Structures are given as structure tokens and as C-alpha cells.
Structure 1
Amino acid sequence: MSDLPIGQHALLSDRHSAAVVTSDGCVAWLCLPRFDSESVFASILDDDGGHWWIRPAEPTSVERAYVDGSMVLRSTYRTGSGSVELVEALELPAPADPHRIGVDAPHTLLRVLRCTGGSIDLEMEFRPRPGYGTVVAHLDPVPGGLVATGGGETLTLSTTVPCVIAGGTATARFRMHDGDEIALAMQFQDAGSPPSPPYAAGRIITAIDTTVTAWRDWSDLHQTYQGPWRDLVHHSGRVLKALSYQPTGAIVAAATTSLPEVVGGARNWDYRYSWVRDASFTMRALWVAACPHEANDFFGFIASAGAAALPRGHLQIMYGVGGERDLTERTVPHWAGWRGSAPVRIGNGAWNQPQLDVYGELLDAAALLADQLAPFPPDLRDFLSSLADAAAAHWNEPDHGIWEIRGAPRHYLFSKLMCWVALDRAAALADRLGLHDRVDGWRGTADRIRDAILADGWNPRVGAFTQSFGSDHLDASALMIPLVGLLPPDDPRVRSTVDAITAHLIDDHGLVRRYLAGPDVDRLPGTEGSFLLCTFWLARVLADDDRVPEARDAFERAIAHINDVGLLAEEVDSGTGEQLGNFPQAFSHVGLVNAAWAISLAEERAATRPASRGMPRRARRWRRV
């Protein structure tokens, strides 16, 4: 099993699939041809999952960075005798329209080695294990490389390096001298397609350059944010784009499955699907970069995938990237999991949970992106109005909440809050929806939901809004109350909730937990790490309350855990400070973008505030548990 820290991985994407590569030259996760396809390489979860590593044969140091403005990774390895640069990418052709980056991606992994000094011995091992490790591929040498077949798929490895083939594995050892260049590629073909001929070295190098250009052209069109932490915001925008599925506009929650929320625990989930909630929040983050094509693609995907479900009851909370509805969960019993964190899960059992918050997240995104979506086509108008009607009809029912807790449904505060958002935003969109006659009804129901939240969601014993009606448990999702506008950030109940969360949900690293996990709360054994998104939420609330020093402090505590190539997982181990959970996580990068934007606005307000209004509030130190 792999024990390399999650933070020592990096992401490659062609907007159809993603590769996760390690700091020591291993492709440790790759599913083809889609994010949620069966894996070809999966050594991040088990030694028998397959891998493709290229690394120096002797001890080495490494420095990694993405090529500026792109998701092309450059790693420089140095040994006592020389240095070598490894440039890696999932190939992107040059699109006719830079907005449509990823169109006609050929499902090809590119790897180029350049010796940049001295001489260096390298080793390579190519060990594909398709079908979640159940297939030992058969390898045949061909001119210019080799062909791997098995599991109904074909992989063509392009290489001029002589390989030894044995037991479904190709190995090589070779020396490079200063100025030498070796280009390799792995092409994927679906079942029934003939093997593709190997790429020539020149074609691989050209493909790398084209891929860099494709990413930069997209970045130049969209990376307009100029506030604090500009480079991190721009990079997070590219990460979110990399987690989107070009053919449909779906956005996956993360590139991986079953990277755990606690080492050795069972809180291991498959995140390679498109959650309505996550994608809606992602659209809000991409709005900072003004992405009209992304907004239209995403709403087209959700309207197509989700509209059919509403007449039958609730909107489904997640879909496959092609719009698939049945995401039945199973385990992979022959895999040990990362650091022994089993079970490894494929599919996600939460797919058929009722979760009422999705109506509000979609309508909130639609309200924010209304100008980019304009004019609303008839099918989108019908879909959005049906979401408001569903929120009005179901808001008083129990559900499983934002965290998809696997127990009996409850009256979760966040779900009620987002039903209020759904009706509030629908009323604001009435002109665009052409439904003025529904406004009074929507607003009347929104008022009833608000009254219920203020009466039953507030717990005077705790001094905070709590996880569910009548509960004593704190939950960081209550921070969304001011962020969606139910109450202002300076409301005494909001400030008291912030104080309670900072007193009881913050760990030794200054990061916010979602809630205090345990069987009595979420029906699962063990605990979990601290949640980066929730820490960014705290930063946003503080910024909106013009507590800028505190907001900056919270933001800096979160970004202190970014890895060397600017990526965040879902959580952070409250003891060790290591990244935990699936990687990279869209939610975390969404939180980063939105918190930076909120702090930017707060600093603009502070800069224009008349001196007579007094000094900003004194920053209060965060308190450790």
C-alpha cells in the first residue's frame, strides 16, 4: 500500500480524466477515458493497483511547479552526478475556441525527460493494472514502444528506451547526459479500437507545447482577479477547470476515491462524481473569473440530468459525469487502501439520499450568474421554477444534510437555510423567469422558513445556531447564515455562533472542523480531520463583518497547508497537519477563491471608510480546543 503523504501528489487533467502523480515520478492514479472510469493505475490505494514510474536510480532531491498559467507539471530531480527535468501532462489539442479547452482530448499521457546537467541514471517501470487492479495487462513490443491489452482496453506506450517485459510489467534502466532528451507517451483506446501507433518523440514534445498553450489561452481569457493572493486564486481557478468534464460541463468533487478522512479509518468515499452542491459552489468561484461558457455548460448539464427527477420527488444530489443517475456503491476488497485505510469504495451510496439544500445552491448560482446565462432559455426557466416549487413543498421534511450523514434523516439547519435561499433567489429572478404571479407565494414560504430557522435553529443554551433543530451539536455550516444573507454578519446571533465555533470546533492548527464527529452524531466510527472549506467560510464571515485582520489570519492558516504545487485536499489531520481526503478537492479550492474575494472586498471597504467611523475592530486571537 502507498504511504506517501497525500500532499506529495500533483494533478494532471485533460478535462476528461485526471492523473495523480507523485513527487518521486510515479503515476499513482489514472482512470480512462473519464474521471469515473475504471482505473489503469492505482498504486496510491494498493501496490497491486498498477503504476508508471520514472525516477533517478540514486537518492535525489526534487523541486516541482506547474508551468506558468497551465496544468503542465515540471519536476526537477538532482543527484550527486546530475540533474534531470520531467515534464508531464495529459494532452490537450489546440481548440478553435479557447473557451472549449479539452475538446477532442486524445486520452494521452505525455512525459518528457531532459537532462539539465551532468549525467544521471534513471529507472522506469510500466505496470498497468486495468479494471481496478483485476487485470494483468499483456505487453507486446512494437516498433517505437509496446502495446498493453487487457480488460477490453488497449494502451500504447511510446518509448525509445529498451524495455524488459515480464509478468505484465515493462522495466528499463538508462543513463542520460547533459542535453539528452527522451519523450514518452501512453495512449488509450476503447474496447474494439485498434492499437494506435506509438507517437514519435517530436510529436510528444510538440503536444506538450500545445497543451501549455491551450491552458494559457484559457487562463488569459478568464484570470482577471487582481486582489490579494492573486496567484493562488488564479491557480485554484485552473484546478477547478481541470476538475470539469468537458463533454457535459459536469464538475467532479475530486479526482480520486477513498483517500481517507482519518488515517486507517472507514470514512473513505468516492468523489469522482458531480455533486449539485459542489458544482454550484464551484460556479460561484468561477464567477470571480467571469466564465460564461462554464456557467452555460454546467446549467445545461444539471438541467438535462436533473429535470426528469423533480416530477418524481427530490432532485438527485449527484450524477455521473455523463449524467448517470445510478451510482451504486461497492467496495474493492482486494485493495488495502492508502496507509491501510479500508474499505476502498467505488460508487457513492449517498446518490439516492434526499438533500434539500441542492435547490438553494442551484438557484443561488443562477441568480449570481444571471447575466452570463441570459437570456434564460425556456427549459432552464422551467427547471429553475420547479426547483423553487420543490423547495417550497419539501422544506419542512427531514433529510441527510450537507455532510450526507448516514443515519436517520433530521431537520438539518443548513437544509432549511438553503430552501430559504431557493425561494428568495427565485423571487429575485421572477422577471427572468416570467413568473411574477408566483412571487408572493415564494416570499411567503421563505418568511416561514426564516421564522423556523430563527426559532428552532437557534440554541440559547449553546449560544449558537446548531447542526439541526433542537440539537446541541455545533456545525460549521451555520457560518453560511450570513454568507447567503439570512442575517447580517454583525447580527449578535451570528457573532455568537462564530464565537462558539472558534471556541469548540478549531483544532491546534487553527482550522475548523465540520462538527465533532462520532457515532452519536454521524453514525460512523472514529473521527475525521479539520475541513479546509469550513476554515475558508470562517474567513469569509469575518471579512464580511469587516474583521479583516482576523479574516486574513484564518485564510493564512488554511493556505499554510497547500502543497508545493498549490493543491489542497479536503481535510487536514488535526494532529500531524498532513492533508487528508480526496485530492485535489474542488470544495477547498472553491473556498480559497471565495474567501480571497471576500477579503479583497473588505479591504476595499476599509480603504474608503471615513476616518470618523473609527478604527476597525481589534483582531481577536483564535482559541485552540
Structure 2
Amino acid sequence: MSDVPIADHALLSDCHTAALVTRHGSVDWLCCPRFDSPSVFGRLLDDDAGHWSIRPVGAFTATRRYLDQTLVLETTFHTPTGTLAVTDAMAVGPNEHPHGHALGNGAPHMLVRSVSCRDGEVRMRVRIEPRAEYGLLRPLMSHVPGGLNIRGGPEWLMLSSPMDLACADSSAYGEVTLRAGDELQFALHRSTWGLEPARIWSQEEIADWLAVTVQAWRAWSKLHQNYEGPWRELVHHSGRVLQGLTFRPSGAIVAAPTTSLPEGVGGERNWDYRYSWVRDASFTMEALWVAACPDEAGDFFTFMTTAAAGAIGPDYPLQIMFGVNGEHDLTERTLPHLRGWRDSSPVRVGNGAWNQHQIDVYGELLGAAHLLADKISEMDCDMRAFLVALADAAVVRCREADHGIWEVRGEPRHFVYSKVMCWVALDRAIGLADRLQAQDRVPVWSAARDEVRERVLREGWNASVGAFTQYFGSADLDASCLMMPIVGFLPADDPRMLATIDAIADRLTDERGLVYRYRTEGGVDGLAGEEGTFLLCTFWLAQALAEAGRVNRATEVFERAAGYANDVGLLAEEVDPATGELLGNFPQAFSHIGLVNAAWSISQARHRAAL
């Protein structure tokens, strides 16, 4: 069982996959070559599922940081005899695009670990235990000049190592004493069946890969990150995290790089987030508009157009999520050989929500297309037809029940948020009509937009509750109603909206002032057990307050939520209301999206107040 706190991990990314590194220098999660590939290191979910640790022998304390404007991690170990620094990166390759937005195109699928002794001397231990197929396979390991050949099942790995490591029981290990000025470079890289094994890299070549990776991240940050409002560094860092969750070959964006980190310790709310949700990815593109000037918008909409593959229209609902190469079938299964983080089982791969009916996705996608229209340099006939089909589908689907933004596994309902986002789909399509060459559709879209708005105002408002509620006829609050003023459905200072904001702030928060999605004890989601408060929802509250002109209150809520970022600025999905510990898949795109958008709204509200 893994017991390392979720917050003790840091993210590495090459925009193809990701690794998580603990505070104590252990790579406990790595799937290769893609985010959704089986893990090679999976100790995050079970002690026996593989890891790679580099750390001092004996007592130490550790501090860490990302190198400025990068996702390159530096961990500094302080020992009684000296100081050791380990610099970790997923090598991204040179960023050779003239506009600097091709981060990850030349990624060599290589994890680089550079070790240096800063002062004194430090005895260092290295241990590597690859366990492919989510820990099922114990590989064959053999020495080659300059490293190790590691093969088993579908994976063929090479470890470039300056140390002569001993091998036993499918593990390699060794110790060495470093003195001030000494440096060692390690690299783990992959090959495939039928090809020559990956080469061994020299110490100089590995150091060059690391330097190129630092330079590529900094070049991307310099060219893309222009936000100068409050919490500038937090916003910029969140932009890099969101970029790190992008799958460069296709333009897909994953919700998180992990699976089955629980929403409640020991509970069953454990899901695989390593896929591209239409909703999450669209929100990510909107957040990058603030945090990182998304030149990749065209790639994303090309991915969505291709992934949907024409299967969209009044008779064909848009699938809510895809694999990172556009795969449709994401059938869910469990891995019973893994105990899960803190015995939170089952561990799942795949996601059973892939074939759910969720009508809000039309609004999120068309909302992003409307916001980013000037970033899409070429909107070809296929993309135009796709976006028109989304709006046409919203005309029909807005009248239907669905499973909603929270993907409830109970019966479909007429969720208020889903209806509001259908309104967004139609409203934004009308705004894009000229660009889409669809002026003839505007009367139909306008009529449907007005119809769904009137229905939400009539059936979504509950006078006895004094708020818009979760679904038509419900008395339950839902934090997603905070999006109503954010997307422009109602002004934030509308009395009904102010009442809804106040109701959620008063009745849907914990003692820390963090916001729940909804109350789970009603069973609407079809699952047992409780969950934590949602950071995204708390940022939504801050954003809605800012839109309503309550800037001081918005600032307080924002800083409360942002305060749960770990020491390297990463946020999970939820916070345990009892302990304040981070819960859920990590790092979570939704949480960083919420941070970026709330910071932007507060910045704009301050500007309006100063006029």
C-alpha cells in the first residue's frame, strides 16, 4: 500500500506522458509512452508496482522547486555531511518552431535525472525497480556498457547510468559517495519490439538533453505567458501545468495524468482521468487564453473534429471523452492486484463514463471556439461543419435529460448546468455564424436558445430554497450553478443570482470555507461514501463573487483555495474536509483552470472598480 501523501508528489511532463516524483526523490508514477499507457513505475498505487529512487543514505531533509519558467524539478537534500541536488525532467527535445509553440514535438521518451553534490560529501543510494503492465511484470535486467538493458512484456527500456549497479530480483541498486563538485547523469529511455534497443547515452549527452529541456520550457513560457495581473506567478505556473497535460502528437488534453487517486480515502470514487474530456479540455483551452496564449487552439479543434469523426448531429450525441489519439472505446476495468493509494480500491483503468449522455459538452466546446476564434488560423470546411453540427445537436438535445457535469451514475435528470451550457452552445454559435458560414441557421438557433433560457428560469429556480438548484424540481444545491453568471446566462448582480451565490457560500461549504460539488448523502450520483470539497468549485465561487463586484470577498475565497497548492504549486481535485489533505487525481486540470479563471476575473473586477 502506498501511504505517501498526494501533495508530496511533483509533476514532470514531456507533453506525451508524465511522471510523479515524491519529496524524497522517488519516481512513483510513470506511464510510457503515453499518458494512458500502462505504468512502468506504479508505486503510487501499490508498493510492489515499481519505482526509481535517488536519495542520500541516512538522515536528511529535503526542499524542492521547479527551475524558473519550467516543469524541471530540483530537489535539494540536506544531510549532516553535505548537500545533494537531484534535477529531474521528462526530456521535451528542442523547441524549433519559429513561434515557439511546438513544445514536446521532439520528445525522446526519456526521463533524465541529474545528481550533483553542492558541498561537503554525501553517500547516495540509487534503486530502480521497473514493473511494467501496472506492476504485473518483473523484467529481465542485464548489464551493458554504460548501463542496463531492461526488457519484459511490451516494454524494452535502457538505463544509462554512470554507476555499476547490482541486479537481483528484477531490481538494480547501488551506492556511491559524492564530493563537492561531483555530478552524475542518469537517463531511462525506451525502445519497442522489432527495433534495435535504445542506445546508451553518455554523461555529456544526458546533460545536454537536460539543458535543452530547460531552454525549451523557458522559450515557451517567454513567448506565451503575458498575464500580468494579480497572482501572476501562480497563473503562469498553472499555465505550464495545463500545457504539461497536453498530448502534443494529437492536441488532446488529459484531465489528470493519474488514475484511481481517491476522492475519499478508502472509498470507491476512484476514476481514471488520463483521457481527454471534451469539457475539461475545452475549459483548459479557455484558461490557456489567459495563462499562456494558446497557439495550439487549432490543433485542439482539429483533434476534436477528427476524434468525433462525423458522428455528431441531432441523431448522434457527441461522445464526452476520447483517448489521447482520439480513441472512442474507453471500456473500464479494475486491476485487483493493486491495493490502491491507502487501500482505496478498486483501482480502475478506462472510464465507464465514456458512453454517458452529457449535453453540456456542446456549450463548453462552442464556448471555447468562440473565445479562441482568432487563434484558429485555418477553420476548414470539416471544422466548420463540426461546429455547426454541435449547435444543431444542442437544438435537439437541450430538451433531454442527461448525466450532467458530475457524471452521476444514477438516473438521467434535467440538470440546470447542462441546460445552461446548451444555451451557451447556441449563443456562441450565433456569434460565430458568419465565421461558420451558417447565417441561415441563426433563426433556429435563436429560437432554441430563448426556449432553453426560459425553461431554466422557470424550472431551475426553487423559490422555497431561494436559489437555482441542481436539476429541475430539485431542492438540492449544486456548485455548477455558479457558472451561470460566469458564462453570461444571467448578470451576477441579478437578485436570483446573488441569492444562489449566497446560498452556496452559506450551505454548500465546509468549515474551511471550501465548496462541495453537491451533497452526496442524497444518493443522486449512485455511489456510496463521501467525497472532499472541490477546489474548482471554490474557485468558481471566487469568480462569481468577482463578477458580482464583491472583490474583497472573492479575493479571500481565491486565496483560501490557492493556499492548498503544495510546495511546488500543484493542486489535486479535492480537499479532505476533516484533515485538509489533498485528494483525487493529481495534478488536476480542473483545479488549475479554476485558479487561472478566478484570478483573471478578480483582476478584471479590480480594474472595473478603479474606473
Residues 310 and 386 in structure 1, CA contact (< 8 A), matched pair in contact too: yes
Aligned partners of 2:377 and 2:139: how far apart in 1? 50
The residue that corresponds to 1:359 in the other structure is 362
The residue that corresponds to 1:189 in the other structure is 191
The residue that corresponds to 1:296 in the other structure is 298
TM-aligned CA distance change 1:607 to 1:519, over 3 Å = closer
Residues 518 and 524 in structure 1, CA contact (< 8 A), matched pair in contact too: no
The residue that corresponds to 1:7 in the other structure is 7
Residue 235 of structure 1 aligns with an amino acid whose one-letter code is H
Aligned partners of 1:256 and 1:357: how far apart in 2? 24
Q: How does 1:164-243 map to 2 (within 5 A)?
A: 164-243=166-245
Residues 508 and 575 in structure 1, CA contact (< 8 A), matched pair in contact too: no
Q: How does 1:157-556 map to 2 (within 5 A)?
A: 157-289=159-291, 291-311=293-313, 313-518=316-521, 520-556=523-559
Residues 551 and 599 in structure 1, CA contact (< 8 A), matched pair in contact too: yes
Q: How does 1:41-60 map to 2 (within 5 A)?
A: 41-60=41-60
Aligned partners of 1:442 and 1:500: how far apart in 2? 33
Shift in Å, 1:519: 5.5
Aligned partners of 1:300 and 1:397: how far apart in 2? 28
Q: For 1:387, what is the secondary structure of its paired residue?
A: helix
Shift in Å, 1:541: 0.6
Residue 237 of structure 1 aligns with an amino acid whose one-letter code is G
Residues 78 and 84 in structure 1, CA contact (< 8 A), matched pair in contact too: yes
Q: For 1:427, what is the secondary structure of its paired residue?
A: helix
Residues 118 and 180 in structure 2, CA contact (< 8 A), matched pair in contact too: yes
Aligned partners of 2:295 and 2:140: how far apart in 1? 42
Moved more, 367-376 or 460-469: 367-376
Write out the 4+ residue segments of structure 1 that deviate beyond 4 Å after TM superposition: none
The residue that corresponds to 1:618 in the other structure is none
Q: For 1:522, what is the secondary structure of its paired residue?
A: coil
Q: For 2:141, what is the secondary structure of its paired residue?
A: strand
Q: For 1:110, what is the secondary structure of its paired residue?
A: strand
Shift in Å, 1:292: 4.5
Residue deviations 1:183-204 (CA, integer Å, cap 9, x gap): 1010111232221221111111
Q: For 2:167, what is the secondary structure of its paired residue?
A: strand
TM-aligned CA distance change 1:535 to 1:80, over 3 Å = same
Aligned partners of 1:460 and 1:176: how far apart in 2? 70
Q: For 1:310, what is the secondary structure of its paired residue?
A: coil
Q: Which sections of structure 2, spanning at least 5 residues, go unmatched?
A: none
Q: How does 1:71-82 map to 2 (within 5 A)?
A: 71-82=71-82
Residue 60 of structure 2 aligns with an amino acid whose one-letter code is T
The residue that corresponds to 1:112 in the other structure is 114
Aligned partners of 1:292 and 1:503: how far apart in 2? 36
The residue that corresponds to 2:149 in the other structure is 147
Aligned partners of 1:339 and 1:503: how far apart in 2? 32
Aligned partners of 2:115 and 2:95: how far apart in 1? 26
Aligned partners of 2:195 and 2:34: how far apart in 1? 17
Shift in Å, 1:308: 2.5
Residue 396 of structure 2 aligns with an amino acid whose one-letter code is A
Residues 42 and 49 in structure 2, CA contact (< 8 A), matched pair in contact too: yes
Aligned partners of 2:516 and 2:201: how far apart in 1? 48
After superposition, the CA RMSD in angstroms is 1.0
The residue that corresponds to 2:96 in the other structure is 96
The residue that corresponds to 2:26 in the other structure is 26
Q: For 2:85, what is the secondary structure of its paired residue?
A: strand
Q: For 1:452, what is the secondary structure of its paired residue?
A: helix
Q: For 2:310, what is the secondary structure of its paired residue?
A: helix
Aligned partners of 2:122 and 2:375: how far apart in 1? 52
Shift in Å, 1:253: 0.1
The residue that corresponds to 2:69 in the other structure is 69
Residue deviations 1:467-486 (CA, integer Å, cap 9, x gap): 11101111000001111111
Moved more, 427-436 or 81-90: 427-436
Residue deviations 1:162-206 (CA, integer Å, cap 9, x gap): 211111000112211111111101011123222122111111111
The residue that corresponds to 1:619 in the other structure is none
Residue 570 of structure 1 aligns with an amino acid whose one-letter code is E
The residue that corresponds to 1:611 in the other structure is none
Aligned partners of 1:578 and 1:290: how far apart in 2? 29
Residue 349 of structure 2 aligns with an amino acid whose one-letter code is I
Residue 168 of structure 1 aligns with an amino acid whose one-letter code is S
Q: For 1:391, what is the secondary structure of its paired residue?
A: helix
Q: How does 1:607-622 map to 2 (within 5 A)?
A: 607-608=610-611
Residues 40 and 131 in structure 1, CA contact (< 8 A), matched pair in contact too: yes
Shift in Å, 1:104: 2.5
Aligned partners of 2:49 and 2:532: how far apart in 1? 26
Residue 446 of structure 1 aligns with an amino acid whose one-letter code is R
Aligned partners of 1:202 and 1:128: how far apart in 2? 25
TM-score by length of 2: 0.98
Shift in Å, 1:374: 4.5
Residue deviations 1:231-269 (CA, integer Å, cap 9, x gap): 010010000000000000000000100000011111000
TM-aligned CA distance change 1:544 to 1:423, over 3 Å = same
Aligned partners of 2:471 and 2:522: how far apart in 1? 16
Residues 84 and 120 in structure 1, CA contact (< 8 A), matched pair in contact too: yes
Q: For 1:493, what is the secondary structure of its paired residue?
A: helix
Shift in Å, 1:79: 0.9
Q: For 1:338, what is the secondary structure of its paired residue?
A: coil
Residues 239 and 292 in structure 2, CA contact (< 8 A), matched pair in contact too: no
Residue deviations 1:346-369 (CA, integer Å, cap 9, x gap): 000000001000000011111111
Aligned partners of 1:309 and 1:519: how far apart in 2? 35
Identity %: 56
The residue that corresponds to 1:613 in the other structure is none
Residue 147 of structure 2 aligns with an amino acid whose one-letter code is G
Aligned partners of 1:226 and 1:63: how far apart in 2? 28
In the comparison of the two structures, how many residue pairs are matched?
A: 608
Q: For 2:597, what is the secondary structure of its paired residue?
A: helix
Q: Which sections of structure 1, spanning at least 5 residues, go unmatched?
A: 609-625
Residue 465 of structure 1 aligns with an amino acid whose one-letter code is F
Residues 126 and 175 in structure 2, CA contact (< 8 A), matched pair in contact too: yes
Aligned partners of 1:520 and 1:375: how far apart in 2? 46
Aligned partners of 1:435 and 1:210: how far apart in 2? 46
Residues 519 and 526 in structure 1, CA contact (< 8 A), matched pair in contact too: no
The residue that corresponds to 2:36 in the other structure is 36
Residue deviations 1:503-554 (CA, integer Å, cap 9, x gap): 1111122111100113622111111001000111111111111111000001
Aligned partners of 2:396 and 2:336: how far apart in 1? 42
TM-aligned CA distance change 1:290 to 1:15, over 3 Å = closer
The residue that corresponds to 1:620 in the other structure is none
Aligned partners of 1:218 and 1:448: how far apart in 2? 44
Residues 569 and 588 in structure 1, CA contact (< 8 A), matched pair in contact too: yes
